[in-house]
A and B are shown apart, each in its own frame.
Chain A
Amino acid sequence: MKTMITGNEAAAWGARLARVKVVSAYPITPQTKVVEKIAEFIANGEMDARYIRVESEHSAMAACISAENTGVRTFTATSAHGLALMHEMLMWAAYARLPIVMAVINRAMAPPWSIWADHQDSMAQRDTGWIQIYSESNQEELDAVLMLYKICEDKDVLLPAMTMMDAFILSHTMEPVDIPDQKLVDDFLPELDLPHRLDINRPAGHGSLIMPEGPVMEYRKAMADAFAGVRDKILKVEEEFREIFGREYGGLVEEYRTEDADAIAVVSSTIASTSKEVVDRMRERGLKVGLARVRYFRPFPHRELREIAKKTDMLGVIDRSYTFGYGGALYAETKGVLYGHSDIPVKNYIMGIGGRDVTPEILEKVFMDMLKIAKDGAVDTEVEWVGLIGDERWSA
């Protein structure tokens, strides 16, 4: 069924179609419509789930953890401060190997209060052991929720995942979305069968005290190994998904017109959509630029980025967050995986902080800057903030 819905509604539909059994969530702008929509589904008898209206995000994640550990599929959604408040429990979920799926609406962290698109919130959670994916459209958001349950609940994976979308740009914007048939989803996604669920017939301690010589380091290694296998699962599940639903997204990194590109922008989320427009316009004028849209930030697409670097003369990495004392996180990690594999220049553009508009005009300037670096073979400034008030260089 094709319909016009917002990104928030798409996430809620994902949870509904996945037949989530326990939802535990707390409202925060711009996520509120996700939890409201789910409440509506449940109230109308369209979704058979328990809804725990917790008193905080910390409790939201804690209740998802315990419910999931009891053996049922759970879902939650949050944003910015809610996500930060969950931090402790995010690690708990991952280390307990619980395949919880959460929608995160990317929003800036305060102060000053800003509710607009910014990736600082989810970037700050990149070391919690969660799979992380950034969506570019409402359709991708819905589909990601379905695929993630399948990936995460795989016995070789058993990891939680968060799916990100940009505040307002997706969360509150209607787009045409194809809502898949429930029957097709049921065929695609089997019921959860958690091997280590709480069971009165198998009394056990789940998470008990462990000494340094106990297998704690081995647990972490097993988790690292599971993560190493996630890439292949993503590709496999996406292939299955394509066969059933006819849609695909390009695996960990979607490439857009990267063939014989002189410069490629590495970017995620909705800046990618605007960038695609710009790439098209510039290609029409014979300017050879391309785009690599990083979908999965965890696991980080090592192989893909190394291959992309081989195709071009420079990479321009656009970050919508900033790691203070270093640079953008996507930039830092991209450079990290290229070391020893590629010598092409890499430049970091910090854009869209606090929801600052990233227009096609300003992106075109960025691409022009990238082409110049590709020609010169050297980077002028490694990390540059683009779009600051009064900065003539980048203003349109």
Chain B
Amino acid sequence: MRNTTIPEEEYMLPGHVACLGCGAALAMRYALKALGKKTIVSVPACCWAVIPGVYPYRTLEVPLLYTAFEVTGAAISGIREALEVLGQDDVTVMGWAGDGGTADIGIQALSGAMEREHNVIYVMYDNEAYMNTGVQRSGATPFGAWTTTTPVGKLRIYKKERKKPVAEMMVAQGVPYVATANIAYPEDLIRKLRKAKEMKGPKFIHIYATCPTGWRVPPNKTIEIAKLAVQTRVFPLYEVENGVYKINVKPKERVPVRDYLRMQGRFRHLTEEEVELIQKMVDEEWEKLLLKEEMTNRVRKE
């Protein structure tokens, strides 16, 4: 018997139409390995509305309900309630939306669905911009990034605002299970989705998904960049269960953010000072995260 750490069952067939090196495609593949066949997925307008293929072809071995851009939270609420009416409580319902469909236009429906405590999993796969429509800025685009609506230009207009912390917003809302995950850490990703599947109530998972096309990187760098995002602490891996933080990966050495930024065309215009500024932001966020972990664990113990 082979000793694999990733389930061998496939619920995503070959033949999808994602770009080369698409992190979002990998994310779905892993997620379905974790959740299995008894799953219904709902996707809004986003790259994932295209990736499964053009009618009559399909990639997923589970029912997939396509919906409008801003309604994922509401769509999974409706599916879940209908399944309960039908007595199909053992079916997992997963909303699968991009960062734009989650952090921006869909934030209301997401917040509503989580607040109503439906038994659903909401995944925000994060490629850090509106990729389906050609790399426009989203609220989840990181500080410093070039996008087609923050095109740098002569006036150096890049994304000047911080990334919207959707997972933290969900923690603030009291969502009982909130986690971040990353395609370069598939065992961790699968474990988190399995945990979400076992737990009743609302779950929110934020998955980092490299986008070579939009980030201006070669497709064979997808995993390397995703790994660096964790090692540089740009995208920490953690989970929050009933308000208590647990950081899953604490990098031993401090890999400079510069290594991460300099690999990507979308950050090419940044000066050394700007890179330093981002380093400071990242350090600060990491410090805060450590304190949150310490504080919430202490509160729990007391």
Contact = CB atoms under 8 A, between A and B. Distances in A.
Interface of A: 21-22, 24, 49-50, 52-56, 58-60, 62-72, 74, 88-89, 92, 198-200, 202-211, 214-215
A67 B53 contact: no
A70 B52 contact: no
A208 B53 contact: yes
Nearest to A198: B63
A207 B50 CA distance: 11
Interface in B52-74: 52-56, 58, 60-68, 70-71, 73-74
Contact of A206 (B66, B70, B71, B112): B66
A211 B66 CA distance: 16
A304 B60 CA distance: 49
Nearest to A210: B55
A260 B262 CA distance: 86
Contacts of B49: 208-209
Chain B CB count within 10 A is highest, among A53, A58, A64, A198, for: A198
Contact of B66 (A21, A71, A205, A214): A205
16 contacts: A24-B77, A50-B85, A54-B112, A55-B115, A56-B108, A59-B73, A65-B78, A66-B65, A69-B79, A70-B83, A70-B86, A200-B39, A203-B58, A205-B55, A206-B65, A209-B53
B64 A205 contact: yes
Nearest to A211: B54
Interface in B75-90: 75-79, 81-86, 88
Contact of A203 (B60, B71, B78, B112): B60
Contacts of B164: none
Given A198-B63, A199-B63, A209-B50, A66 B58 contact: no
A52 B116 contact: yes
A58 B70 contact: yes
B71 A59 contact: yes
* Chain B contact residues, majority secondary structure: mixed
Contacts of B86: 70-72
Interface residues of B, number: 45
Interface of B: 37-40, 42, 49-50, 52-56, 58, 60-68, 70-71, 73-79, 81-86, 88, 91, 108-109, 111-112, 115-116
Contact of A22 (B61, B81, B88): B81
Contact of B78 (A64, A202, A207, A214): A64
B109 A200 contact: no
Contacts of B62: 200, 203
Contacts of B74: 24, 54, 58-60, 62-63, 66
A205 B58 contact: yes
A59 B82 contact: no
Contacts of A204: 58, 63-64
Contact of A69 (B39, B58, B65, B70): B65
Contacts of A64: 78
- Considering the complex of A and B, which 10 residue pairs feature the smallest CB-CB distances, nearest first? A66-B78, A55-B112, A70-B82, A207-B66, A63-B78, A59-B74, A62-B71, A67-B78, A62-B74, A67-B82
Given A63-B81, A209-B50, 7 more contacts: A22-B82, A56-B112, A63-B77, A66-B79, A202-B63, A204-B58, A205-B53
A6 to B, nearest CB: 28
Contacts of A63: 74-75, 77-78, 81
B65 A207 contact: yes
A56 B110 CA distance: 12
Nearest to B62: A203
B64 A58 contact: no
Contacts of A207: 65-67
A54 B65 CA distance: 19
A54 B114 CA distance: 11
Given A55-B109, A209-B49, A72 B63 contact: no
B65 to A, nearest CB: 5
B85 A22 contact: yes
Contact of B85 (A62, A69, A72, A202): A72
Contact of A55 (B56, B84, B111): B111
Contacts of A59: 71, 73-74, 77, 108-109, 112
A91 to B, nearest CB: 9
Given A71-B86, A202-B63, A205-B60, A22 B55 contact: no
